[in-house]
Amino acid sequence: MKKNKEKYWNYDYNFETMYAELKRLSNIYQEFDVDSFIEVFRELMGEEFNTAEPHPRLLNDCFRQIEYWEKFKKDCQAR
């Protein structure tokens, strides 16, 4: 398992911390477009699905990340 760790992008990244930081930045910058970020994570998921051994945790993190970005986008639109 460990030898594959470097193969996967941001395997141990803390998405909750990133989301909190982006919410903070969005309060400073009134307009913030998250569509491109959502697309990036959709593409990452697609790449992992096409590998021989997609790591379940990475796929789960990508799904969660898309949910965070969509929630973030909705929060921004609600303001």
Average predicted confidence (pLDDT) for the chain: 61
Using alpha carbons, select from 64, 4, 70 the residue that is nearest to residue 38: 70
pLDDT of residue 7: 43
- Higher pLDDT pick, 5 / 53: 53
Q: pLDDT for 44-69, tens place per residue?
A: 666 555 554 555 666 567 677 777 77
Ranges of each domain in the chain:
31-79
Judged by average pLDDT, the poorest of 30-34, 39-43, 51-55 is 51-55
User: How far, CA to CA in Å, does 63 sit from each of 11, 25, 42, 78?
Assistant: 13, 23, 8, 23
Cα–Cα distance measured from residue 24 to residue 3, given in angstroms and rounded to the nearest whole number: 36
pLDDT of residue 73: 77
